[in-house]
């Protein structure tokens, strides 16, 4: 995909039926047994039945409301689950297949997934049967499995887009699940996504751990955010004499770029630096190190990105000290050939750290970890101003180590060249109901792929609450869906602006009523004020009256 890229993730509200079939006894009970898996490994895969004049055979052929193309079929052998398939073609006969498997009727399918679990099938046995009762364990089993497969397919698609493009924006209406989906995507790109992708608690636990580990960083754009805060800028630092001076300090973007460049071999050095900071901050200790030429110097730490050093030979006024940049200690460790100021002190500190904390020489890792920067409400900041000249460096082919690698000299650090590492990924979120989204210019937009999330009725259906509340929530959801479709302004899409499904997730009717009164209805009124819904104030009140539980 080139230029401004956008995809919409199809929701789960597609009309299809669930079926289960067993086909390993084509002659019936007591007859020849065949291997169902062999049929599913044909090119193309197929399912099949014999030829009988009964409703099961008619169902298989798609007669009188039987199996339709697009329906989902669970293949089993007795109580043993084999695979989940999607029907792709109409019924046909094939003499070659019949000679192998005895079955007479066949349907082409796509094998969605072979089963690797241990759970037995408990539904009443028959050759082929539709599942209609959503309260049964059998229906829930197929539905849960199918939704998990679809979600994995979505995640694989997004993951591939992100790996190719390096940055994406997740957009959707309020409550459409952008925050949760962003966490899921970020964990996928750093290979920390839990095996059970349907377990929200496990996903959020893994996400919090990745944030604590520094592999995922989070920020929110706002109108006052600028380059100095996001990339780098001058920050005030107080000297030992209480005087105010200024040092260059990295913003969150430069900080995570630096992390992404520091592979696992730097972990022990970074841990040593943190311990040394604490040691140097303790006013009870008088720490003295030596340069490589044997000159002694004192060292302290008062926050920021530098240690403060003073040579015993210094002629400066008492209390004056000088910076030894912590980033330069790392650069020297990995063999960066660029000139470093106060190099003799940096070398002395590194030598002390290596000896004291038993740090071996640096060895470049074969594979660096991936890092993710999440930018919430990305359209609320002036992206061109915040990124400045670095907007060009975001492009995948201009990252460090790539074909068209570009480095720049930053405004406050002209002595060093800066590039964006290829193992850094950016995920932004954007509210499609926010009129300010139009301020993202084309130069910025073409560097991002756009993923659209929609409000999904299915999520409300599967939410763990009582049946009465579920019915009420779905009723309100359907009413608001119709309200949006009938009254949406021509400049907007009802799907893009539909109130998100999270607004309808409630444990009981009391909670749902509170959400309706204090979250959903106020949001709809804001839509009217912003011109998203073409209704007058009086019409809004009358329309909203029908939404009471």
C-alpha triplet 162, 166, 169: angle, nearest 5°: 65
pLDDT at 98: 95
401, 406, 411, 413 alpha-carbon torsion, rounded to 10°:
30
CB 522 within 8 A of CB 491: no
Query: What span, in angstroms and rounded, lies between the C-alpha atoms of 441 and 387?
Result: 13
pLDDT at 260: 86
Q: Which two tokens stand for residue 258?
A: 């630096």
- How do the domains of the chain map onto residue ranges? 1-13+133-238+252-258+369-454, 18-131, 264-356, 457-545
As beta bridge partners, residue 247 has 235
CATH code for the domain defined by 18-131? 3.10.590
pLDDT at 379: 87
pLDDT at 364: 62
State the fold for domain 1-13+133-238+252-258+369-454. Rossmann fold (3.40.50)
Can you spell out the DSSP letters for 352-387? Answer: HHHHHTTPPPP---SSPPPEEEEEETGGGS-HHHHH
pLDDT by 10-residue block (mean), the chain, 549 residues: 49 74 87 93 95 86 91 94 96 96 95 90 82 88 90 88 92 89 93 81 93 94 90 79 78 90 73 90 78 88 85 80 85 73 88 89 70 93 86 89 84 83 93 65 84 88 84 90 90 86 92 91 87 79 62
pLDDT at 1: 43
Q: Which two tokens stand for residue 376?
A: 């919430």
Any alpha helices (H) in 396-532, and if so which ranges?
Answer: 442-445, 457-461, 467-487, 494-497, 509-515, 521-529
Q: Which of 417, 410, 394 is nearest to 249 (CA)?
A: 410
Q: Which two tokens stand for residue 324?
A: 């030894």
CB 501 within 8 A of CB 177: yes
- State the residue for tokens 């071996």: 360
Q: Is 92 helix (H, G, I), strand (E, B) or coil?
A: strand
């Amino acid at each position: 995909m080139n230029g401004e890229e956008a995809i919409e993730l199809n929701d789960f509200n597609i009309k299809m039926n669930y079926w289960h079939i067993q086909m390993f006894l084509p002659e019936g009970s007591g007859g020849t047994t065949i291997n169902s898996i062999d049929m599913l490994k044909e090119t193309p895969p197929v399912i099949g039945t014999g030829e009988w004049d009964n409703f099961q055979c008619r169902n298989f052929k798609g007669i009188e409301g039987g199996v339709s193309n697009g329906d989902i079929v669970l293949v089993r052998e007795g109580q043993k689950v084999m695979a989940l398939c999607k029907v792709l073609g109409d019924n046909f006969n094939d003499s070659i297949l019949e000679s192998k498997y005895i079955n007479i009727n066949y349907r082409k399918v796509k094998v969605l997934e072979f089963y690797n679990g241990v759970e037995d099938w408990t539904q009443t046995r028959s050759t082929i049967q539709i599942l209609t009762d959503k309260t049964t364990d059998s229906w829930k089993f197929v539905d849960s499995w199918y939704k998990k497969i679809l979600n994995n397919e979505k995640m694989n698609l997004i993951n591939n887009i992100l790996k190719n493009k390096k940055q994406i924006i997740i957009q959707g209406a309020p409550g459409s699940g952008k925050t949760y989906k962003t966490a899921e995507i970020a964990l996928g790109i750093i290979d920390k996504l839990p095996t059970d992708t349907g377990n929200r608690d496990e996903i959020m636990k893994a996400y919090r751990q990745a944030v604590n580990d520094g592999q995922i960083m989070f920020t929110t754009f706002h109108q006052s955010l600028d380059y100095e805060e996001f990339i780098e800028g001058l920050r005030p630092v107080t000297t030992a004499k209480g005087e105010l001076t200024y040092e260059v300090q990295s913003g969150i973007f430069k900080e995570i770029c630096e992390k992404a460049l520091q592979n696992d071999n730097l972990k022990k050095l970074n841990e040593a630096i943190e311990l040394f900071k604490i040691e140097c901050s303790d006013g009870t200790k008088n720490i003295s190190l030596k340069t490589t030429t044997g000159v002694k110097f004192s060292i302290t730490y008062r926050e920021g990105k530098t240690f403060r050093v003073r040579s015993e030979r210094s002629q400066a006024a008492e209390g004056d000290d000088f910076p030894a940049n912590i980033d330069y200690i790392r650069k020297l460790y990995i063999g960066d050939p660029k000139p470093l100021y106060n190099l003799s002190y940096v070398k002395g500190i590194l030598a002390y750290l290596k000896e004291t904390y038993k740090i071996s020489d640096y060895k470049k890792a074969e594979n660096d970890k991936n890092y993710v920067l999440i930018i919430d409400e990305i359209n609320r900041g002036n992206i061109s101003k915040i990124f400045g000249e670095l907007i060009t460096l975001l492009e995948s082919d201009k990252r460090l180590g790539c074909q068209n690698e570009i480095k720049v000299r930053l405004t406050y650090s002209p002595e060093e060249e800066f590039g964006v590492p290829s193992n850094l990924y950016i995920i932004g979120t954007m509210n499609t109901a926010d009129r300010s989204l139009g301020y993202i210019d084309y130069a910025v937009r073409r560097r991002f792929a756009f993923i659209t999330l929609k409000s999904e009725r299915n999520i409300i259906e599967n939410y763990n609450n009582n049946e009465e509340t579920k019915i009420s929530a779905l009723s309100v959801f359907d009413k608001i869906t119709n309200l949006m479709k009938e009254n949406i302004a021509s400049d907007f899409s009802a799907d893009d602006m539909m109130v998100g499904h999270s607004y309808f997730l409630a444990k009981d009717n009391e909670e749902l009523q509170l959400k309706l009164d204090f979250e959903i209805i106020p949001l709809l009124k804001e839509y009217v004020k912003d011109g998203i819904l073409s209704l007058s104030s009086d019409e809004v009140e009358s329309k909203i009256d029908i939404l009471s539980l």
